[in-house]
Structure 1
Amino acid sequence: MSQPQGVAPAAVKCPNCSHEVRYYGAIHSAFFGCGQCWTFFEYPETGAPKKLRKFKETPNHSPVLAIGSTGQLEGRTYRVTGYMWRCEVKAPWYRWEEFQLHDEATGAYRQLAVFHGHWLLIAPTEEHYRPNQNGVVEVADTDYLLYNQYRPRILYARGEFDWNVLTDESLTISEYISPPLMLVRERDRTNHWFTARHLEPQEVAEAFGLKPEQLPERSGVGAAQPAPGQATWPQLRTFSLLMALLVVGTHLFLMLQGNLTLFSKDFLSQPASTAPDSVQHLLPPAALERPPVVSPSFEVPQRGGVSVNLWADVNNNWLELPFTLVNEQTGQQFAGTGNMEYYFGVEDGESWSEGNRDQDLLLNTVPAGRYHLNFYPTADPLSPYPLTFRVRVEGRATAGSNALLALAALLLYPGWVWLRRRFHEQARWENSDFNPYASS
């Protein structure tokens, strides 16, 4: 090249308008974009500069990172040497910016891309990957899913470049994501691979000495933007599953150790009135309240839950069984009410039924002692005949509802995090032609 060899920055003149384009890479830079007349040109080793393209439009804002500015990323000092504005050929409304970064220590180049406020730091790699037939790149630690595939168009370029950026328009670019990482394949006659990492805006702002509000406003979900709780989600998920298994296991253990039958007996509830059947239905409901029923005594061996299981031989009628569990030593009482009703029939040739003949009630923290049950039956006024009901009392009872409440409390926060991550992923893939959620 015939550029000056003095201390950077040096400059070359635009062949179209003679505006000086400053550059920093005297060895590698051969292509330049003029910010004055929008001309992209080559400055060869020998001979006159060649005009390659005059861009027709420019971004409607100034690049947030000025050419020539420096920043610290990943512990390295980078200088911004070039700026591009790009879009997809088939979807020109997808437009993004790319800044060429020059590593001041090694001379290596990186690209810093931003789309809708989402930043990616891109670097070439010597690795070569082979996507499978499902568009997945499998590596040791994770799988990268095909997210986007397109051909780029260069809308505008400014500054210096070590390659002719216009030739990128012949490439087919494929992006594979495993947030916060991305693999990028550029394909023409051969494949060239790049690795990329998502950067938070705060990280970019701090690197280049800017205020976060000076950066492009972030909208939507970025292709490689980590889902909420990305760093802690694996541990939270594992912990929650282990605790859920512990709750279920404890409940099953208590069920196996519990549910000791303390008492079981059938009773016959007689109607209070002895009026003939022909006039029974004419009597007021109170006339059909039934005499109390008292059970034999039984022992509750230890303090805990007591389950009262009720069943009644109801058919197209109902039986209500208020009861009290009475401690014969202390007089302490525990009350409950069972409601059994069952109806059935045939309508339009179809059989139907509704209701239940049984009901389970749980009395919590019943002290050990000797008890009996007092029942105060009330029956359907239209059923003035004896009704059989069965009572089974179980000690050391466990309530499935308690286990469900414990599980609900345990899984509430991880469930909320999971939903946020789910919605985040769905929003991410809405911009992809390879959306795995499209059919879900």
Structure 2
Amino acid sequence: MDHICPICKTNNNQMAIDFVIEEFICSHCKNLISSEGISVKKKKVKEPVENVVLEVGRKGILYGTEYWVINIVIKKYGSDTFWREYTLKDRAGNNIYLSESDGHWVFLRQGNFKLTEYQYYVEVDGKNYRWYETTPCTVHAASGFFEDKLPFGLTTYKEYVNGTEMVSCEQYGNEFQFFKGNHISKSVIKKAFGITGMPFYAGIGIVQPFYYNVKQCINIMAITALLICLLQLYTVTSRTNQTVFEQTIAFEDVNDKELVSKSFTLSGGSAPLKVNLFSDVDNSWANVGLGLVNEKTNEVIYATKDIERYSGFEDGESWSEGSQNENFNMCGIPQGTYHFIVSAEKEGGGKNPFQSGYRPENGDFSVIQNTTGTFFLKNDKDKSVETFTDKESLKNEIISRTGLQNTVKEMNKMDSILVNMPPNYDYTANGEKNLSVNIKATWLPVSFWNFGIVIFIMALFTVASYIAKRIFEGSKWYNSSNSPYSTN
């Protein structure tokens, strides 16, 4: 396609396709030339330069069709508002248009469609488009080949918008042209024409879409919330909440060693395991360490807890602090078979002092003495302890329990044992208190805490999305004198 400039004799042959033109602008001298090769009053046209990323003759593939850029026109509104319009043609002679303003692109097609106009909107093909703005403009710069005469006079654009689509009515004198367009991503333009640099975004484009599809996103979240609710309902109804473990552990049984508890089974959905510890501490303390062992996976969850309670009188008033009960939760325990590994200690140690005491051959009890000379007799069966302040009473009790004959020989032998019995320095009259710790585990109701947090976050995201989109749309209509948003 050759077009010789009659002024500078430059052959303007940038195009790889042939089509009928009315005028062209010489790529060398920038004069506007008619198709017959005659200059139009030797009118020089300013070359489009600023933010122009497509040159005349450049080829690209948009939506599967090859197009060539046949002309570029920069339009001007007022003293400092500019936008760029690119006309593209395919081999079949069909035209499309790309309009770029502040880095935002619109893909347009010309058409003859019925347009019903109302006060603030027009109806096209059953869809309403709100009136955005009416803009008078002129040609600021241009280059390329034109199938009609390039209008340098005042042209008026009237634009209507519906989301990411628009309708544009262009009026020059008594002539009208209608276009329908939609947003096109600049990444699509880059890929189609192999461009390395693109104009930066500024503000929000007239048909720019929100960053994500709010309605679709909310639908997905609604379905997700329903599934979460059904899962939570199944988890709650698939199990019962009950005490799953209870055992009393004597401190003497875990003195310097660990004890493996009996096994217990949890059935149903994951939930917190509440552990209650009780020890009869009184102005003393106890410490319990627990390891919850999953017998299938051998995974262990460790926890340790202090139990302490102190009380007294001060300035004529009683006081107390601490408790004989302590509670804590092991969170998110799944179903399975478990046991505890227990370690424990108390103030004064957990060793049984009666293990080293006097035990008759046929007796079921033990006897010890403390440093005050008081004797203590502990029944092995019921763990009860009796206190004796004189040896005679103790001897009579031993004789009655064992059936020993009350002979001088037996009495002398018993006297010798009791007199020579080494005193236990740590034992007091209250020494047999706080002998054990009771461990009770209850599988709590399925927690609604995480469920509630997830639902709350989803609801919060929904509200935030609506607010963000409204702000976005309000910003989009900021430059319009017909904005439907009162904030503008």
Q: TM-score, normalised by structure 1?
A: 0.55
8 Å CA contact retained: 1:121, 1:197: yes
Partner of 2:463: 415
Q: Secondary structure at the match of 1:160?
A: strand
Determine if the alignment matches structure 1 residue 236 to structure 2 residue 217.
Answer: yes
Q: Which amino acid in the other structure matches residue 99 of structure 1?
A: Y
Label 1:404 to 1:426 Cα distance change in 2 as closer, same or farther (>3 A): farther
8 Å CA contact retained: 1:125, 1:194: yes
8 Å CA contact retained: 1:14, 1:20: no
Q: Which amino acid in the other structure matches residue 88 of structure 2?
A: L
RMSD between superposed Cα atoms in Å = 3.8
Deviations 1:390-435 (A, max 9, x none): xxxxxxxxxxx99996763331222232233222212211122222
Deviations 1:162-191 (A, max 9, x none): 111215x34321111123211111234354
Corresponding pairs, count: 281
Partner of 2:195: 210
Partner of 1:70: 59
Partner of 1:116: 102
Deviations 1:83-139 (A, max 9, x none): 111112xx23220111111112x1111221111111112111121211212224354
Partner of 2:206: 223
Partner of 2:30: 38
**Residue from 74, 81, 88 that aligns with 1:101:** 88
8 Å CA contact retained: 2:121, 2:128: no
1:14 positional shift:
4.8
Partner of 1:391: none
Determine if the alignment matches structure 1 residue 195 to structure 2 residue 185.
Answer: no
Deviations 1:25-59 (A, max 9, x none): 64421211223333223224xx844237323x444
For 1:78 and 1:120, locate their aligned partners in 2 and report how far apart those are by CA, in whole Å. Answer: 16
8 Å CA contact retained: 1:39, 1:53: yes
Label 1:35 to 1:62 Cα distance change in 2 as closer, same or farther (>3 A): farther
8 Å CA contact retained: 2:138, 2:155: no
Q: Which amino acid in the other structure matches residue 457 of structure 2?
A: A
For 1:402 and 1:100, locate their aligned partners in 2 and report how far apart those are by CA, in whole Å. Answer: 56
Determine if the alignment matches structure 1 residue 162 to structure 2 residue 147.
Answer: yes
8 Å CA contact retained: 2:113, 2:124: no
Partner of 2:169: 185
Alignment of 1:9-408 (within 5 A): 10-15=2-7, 17-22=8-13, 24=15, 26-44=18-36, 48-51=38-41, 53-55=43-45, 57-61=46-50, 63-88=52-77, 91-104=78-91, 106-137=92-123, 139-140=125-126, 142-166=127-151, 169-187=153-171, 188-189=173-174, 191-211=176-196, 214-230=197-213, 233-238=214-219, 408=456
- Segments of 5+ residues of structure 2 without an aligned counterpart are 230-324, 328-448
For 1:149 and 1:403, locate their aligned partners in 2 and report how far apart those are by CA, in whole Å. Answer: 52
1:439 positional shift:
4.8
Q: Which amino acid in the other structure matches residue 150 of structure 1?
A: T
For 2:459 and 2:116, locate their aligned partners in 1 and report how far apart those are by CA, in whole Å. Answer: 39
For 1:173 and 1:429, locate their aligned partners in 2 and report how far apart those are by CA, in whole Å. Answer: 16
Q: Secondary structure at the match of 2:151?
A: helix
- Segments of 5+ residues of structure 1 without an aligned counterpart are 1-7, 249-331, 335-400
8 Å CA contact retained: 2:97, 2:109: yes
Q: Which amino acid in the other structure matches residue 235 of structure 1?
A: Q
For 2:100 and 2:56, locate their aligned partners in 1 and report how far apart those are by CA, in whole Å. Answer: 16
Q: Secondary structure at the match of 1:422?
A: helix
Label 1:418 to 1:67 Cα distance change in 2 as closer, same or farther (>3 A): same
For 2:87 and 2:48, locate their aligned partners in 1 and report how far apart those are by CA, in whole Å. Answer: 17
For 2:181 and 2:38, locate their aligned partners in 1 and report how far apart those are by CA, in whole Å. Answer: 37
8 Å CA contact retained: 1:128, 1:193: no
Q: Which amino acid in the other structure matches residue 118 of structure 1?
A: H
For 1:132 and 1:245, locate their aligned partners in 2 and report how far apart those are by CA, in whole Å. Answer: 43
Identity %: 22
Label 1:156 to 1:134 Cα distance change in 2 as closer, same or farther (>3 A): same
For 1:96 and 1:14, locate their aligned partners in 2 and report how far apart those are by CA, in whole Å. Answer: 31
8 Å CA contact retained: 2:75, 2:139: yes
8 Å CA contact retained: 2:51, 2:199: no
Deviations 1:249-277 (A, max 9, x none): xxxxxxxxxxxxxxxxxxxxxxxxxxxxx
8 Å CA contact retained: 1:23, 1:160: no
Q: Which amino acid in the other structure matches residue 160 of structure 1?
A: F
1:218 positional shift:
1.7
For 2:218 and 2:211, locate their aligned partners in 1 and report how far apart those are by CA, in whole Å. Answer: 13
